[in-house]
Amino acid sequence: MARKTFFSFHYERDAWRAGQVRNCDLLPSDDEFGFVDAVEWESIERQGDAAIRRWIDDQLQYTSVTVVLIGAETALRPWVQHEIQRSWNRGNGVVGVRIHNIKDQKRATDAFGPDPFYQFTLPDGTKLSGICKTYDWETDDGRNNLGKWCEEAVEIRNKFGSTDEVGFVGGGAKSNFVPRMAAAAATAAFTPRAPWCVEDADGGR
């Protein structure tokens, strides 16, 4: 049985690449969370930060694993940071999948971005980046391995208790990562499988 999975990603920059992952139909649509129609997102956003947090909590409610789709700027997005922290602290397995090597509609790849997990630590100071695994969608064959990665993430999280919560310490933009490659041109809008579309999506997440 496929796990109910929350997908966390930077809407504005990574819309096309996130859509390619979703459109591989690796999970039944009822098991995918974190994708939202642009009109619905605008409505939520207008209600303020508290409404966005409630939406995230609602999306996470029945999930057991969170897949962070990592692009060039994902680590710096405040709502992605919130989703990572909320996911781990509620007991979700958390795994990173780098999507910068997925070619966009212009057949271009993007820059290698910072590890978003580096910004979080356990109470003993252990970095989440030293616990959560990170894979590359293209070079590690995400189409055939995403399910395995999700199961592995849940197994890893189960080794920790409910008191092993992570705190946000920042540092995602610092230079302890592989140097950035040349960035591709900005991605344009696209129309992936319903119910999500990215037109007019806000860059805050």
Q: Are 51 and 95 in contact (CB under 8 A)?
A: no
Residue 69 lies in a domain: yes
**Does the residue 189 lie in any domain?**
no
Does 205 reside within a domain? no
196 is a domain residue: no
Question: Into how many domains does the chain fold?
Answer: 1
The series of mean pLDDT values per 10 residues for the chain, 205 residues long, is: 85 85 77 66 82 91 96 95 97 98 92 96 96 98 94 97 93 40 32 35 50
Residue pair 9/80 in contact (Cβ under 8 Å)? The answer is yes
The total of other beta-carbon atoms located within 10 Å of residue 96's CB is 26
Q: What pLDDT sits at residue 36?
A: 63
18, part of any domain: yes
Q: Which CATH number does the domain housing residue 128 bear? A: 3.40.50.450
pLDDT of residue 203: 45
Contact 157, 91 (CB under 8 A): yes
Residue 123 lies in a domain: yes
Residue 203 is assigned to a structural domain of this protein = no
pTM for the model: 0.81
The parent domain of residue 46 ranges over: 5-168
Whether 162 is covered by a domain: the verdict is yes
Helices then strands, counting H and E runs in the chain, come out as 5, 7
